Each structure stands twice: as C-alpha cells, then as structure tokens.
Amino acid sequence: MINLYVFRHGQSIYQCLRVISGLHEFGLSALGKYQTYNLASRTDVDFEIAYISDTKRTIETFEMLKLAGKMPPEENCIFTPLIREKCQGDFIMQEFKAFPDDPNKRNFTPSNGESWEDVQIRVSKTFDFLVRRYLFQQKKSQHNDDEYVKALFQQSQHIKSKKNNIILITHYGFIKEIVHYLKKADQLQLEQPYFAQNATLFTLQLHLKENQSWQAKIISLNSYTRQYRPFMD
C-alpha cells in the first residue's frame, strides 16, 4: 500500500499580484510561508519519501516543511519537472483574467504552453511510476519510459521505506488533473468539483488488487487530518 500525500504549495507572490506564474518567479509570499509552516506544525505524518516540483514556490514550500521537521532525509527528497504546474506559455506574466481558462476546452493549448490533457499525461506517468516503484517494487525503468520517468527511477533506486508514506509537493493544476485522472479511471467517486487550496493536503491510499491492477481510496481533501473539509472555506 502507498499512503500518498499531495501538498499544494503555499500562497505565492504571483498569486498576490494575480499574475500567471512560470518557472521564473518570486516564490512564496510571507503568508504562503506561514500557511506551510502552520500546517506542518499540525500534522504528525512521518513522510518517508518526497517528490518536489522544481519551481521556486514549491522548493520554498519544501524548505518550510523541512524547517518544521516534516521532511524525510535529504537522500529521499527528489526534485522533478514531471509534477510542475500547467505551462501557460505566452500567457505567463499576464494577469489571471487575460487567460481564457474554459474548463470544457481541455485541448486548448496556449502558444508555447500545455493543454489540460498534456498535464494529465504527466499525472498518468507519475502514478504509473509510483505504482511500479512502490507497489511492484521495481527499481529500473522500462525502455519506453520518457526521460523524466527514467530519471525518477534512477534517483529512487536507493530508497527503502517501511510505510510508503510519500508526499508530492506540487501545484493547483497538477492536483486538479490528479482528480480528473482518477475519476476517469473510476478510481475516485467525487461528486463536487475539487479545488486544492493553498498549503493543504490531498491524501490517497493506493492498493494492489488481486489481478495486479491497483485502486485508489480518498482519505482527505484540503486538510491535514483524516476528516473531510469544505471545498471552499
């Protein structure tokens, strides 16, 4: 079994400015740092393995969690572009309102950016990696894996865990597509839209089934406990 904790970064400075973020940004706001440290101080989960998006706001979120004593040893912390936010291409550095973000247009791709379907492909690769590495205990990639997945297998070869408590430190859009991916695969029954708030946990358990497939069970939303919380509070 995998206990998968998906953590959205704290509030970023670009969020305060209501500007679309890219790779080159200012990181967390003072509130974002407080949000992260505050949540970390209230959770008692023993994270054994961490995969962190390689953007400044997620790296600073990781640093705040580390400061609170909630991160695993350095050798079990891996930074990866696979779980980055959706790339908004030429809309980066523009105001939020400038982006035509119609949720029904999943294949809309901004110039030099990604569609939501592109992000979901990265989500599926992430879950495929996690299942193969920690449920099936595979330590080597396959010939048809892309460069990001091959890098994760290589970086994760040495990791040994007892509880498989894994945290992903990632973004709103990536978490949104996790929910969409799992619902489409009939892995999640979620009646309402899910919006990942700043510095909150989305918790899953992944189990192997008898036919060597896997299933997901939702444990918490926008929370640091095992209790359901309002989607928009």
Question: Comparing 72 with 105, which gets the higher pLDDT?
Answer: 72
| Rounded distance between C-alpha atoms, residue 51 and residue 169, angstroms | 6
| Token output for 15 | 């969020």
Whether 145 shows a pLDDT value over 80: the answer reads yes
pLDDT tens-digit series, residues 114-123 = 999 999 999 9
Question: Can you give the pLDDT at residue 77?
Answer: 98
| Minimum mean pLDDT range among 31-35, 125-129, 164-168 | 31-35
| Token output for 201 | 């946990």
Whether 78 shows a pLDDT value over 80: the answer reads yes
Closest CA to 221 of 6, 55, 56: 6
Residue for token pair 């939020």: 96
Whether 179 shows a pLDDT value over 70: the answer reads yes
Burial environment of residue 199 by CB neighbours within 10 A (0 to 12, 13 to 18, 19 or more):
buried
**In the predicted model, what is the mean pLDDT of residues 15-31?**
89
Question: Can you give the pLDDT at residue 123?
Answer: 98
121 CB contacts (<8 Å, ≥6 apart)?
none
Question: Can you give the pLDDT at residue 188?
Answer: 67
How does the average pLDDT of the chain come out, rounded?
Answer: 88
| Rounded distance between C-alpha atoms, residue 87 and residue 224, angstroms | 28
Res. 193 pLDDT band, cuts 50 70 90: low
Whether 149 shows a pLDDT value over 80: the answer reads yes
